[in-house]
Amino acid sequence: MRLSVLAAFAFAEHVAATALTTAIAANERLCFYADVDKAGEKLGFYFAVQSGGSFDIDFEVRDPNEKVLLDGQRERQGDYVLTANTPGEYAFCFENDMSTLTEKLVDFDIMVESEPRREPPARTAQISEQTTALEESIFRLNGMLLNIKRTQKYFHTRENRGFDIVKSTMNQLFWYASLEVMGIVGMAVLQVYVLQTFFTKTGRRYKV
């Protein structure tokens, strides 16, 4: 399946990104694509399995020349940043081959940044010449927001996984209780049948 995932931000930021949640059926391979306009752009890739099986998935990242840049098997989540050295279309693929019945629900982000990330300048005596106090505040706020976003993703993943485990446990308890009830009813019917056959045995009649 081929899906294009580009969502443009403000031109001043030169960033394209997407955040999606997708269901991947058993034995299914699903790929998403992002375009890189020039060499040197930054690619960010984050994913986390929210539900299904053991919360694991196979993944792969390929460049426009079909070269594998990242891959992993039975991974629960990942957070990667890499530099795109070749302009073109990059593929981000998930594969659920290890599961024959279970569907997996995956949250993921793909980010393309047109400029190298700007790092805050070192705190030296010349800091006032390099940046303003407002820019320093923006850098700090940006870092804090990124940390908050990562923390929210972490708790969101934990919540979904916990809910999936509880749901699975409830289903198991339901079927276990149902089998237990059917077993008790079957034993009661069997006992009644045995008692009836024991007291209603017929023998030969003899005339005196």
pLDDT at 149: 77
| For residues 116-135, average pLDDT | 57
194: exposed, middle or buried (Cβ count in 10 Å: 0-12, 13-18, 19+): exposed
The top-level CATH class assigned to 2-117 is mainly beta
Q: Which amino acid is at 95?
A: E
User: In this predicted structure, which of 11-25, 39-53, 57-71, 120-134 has the lowest mean pLDDT?
Assistant: 120-134
pLDDT at 17: 59
Angle at 49 between CA 47 and CA 53, to 5 degrees: 155
Confidence of residue 152 (pLDDT cuts 50, 70, 90): confident
* More confident call, 169 vs 133: 169
Q: Which amino acid is at 135?
A: E
Q: How far apart (Å, rounded) are the C-alpha atoms in residues 110 and 47?
A: 9
pLDDT digits (tens, 9 = 90+) for 109-121: 898 886 544 555 5
Q: Strands 41-51 and 88-95, how do they pair?
A: unpaired
Each residue of 119-155: b (16+ CB within 10 Å) or e?
eeeeeeeeeeeeeeeeebeeeeeeeeeeeeeeeebee
pLDDT digits (tens, 9 = 90+) for 160-206: 777 777 887 888 888 888 898 998 998 888 888 887 887 775 545 44
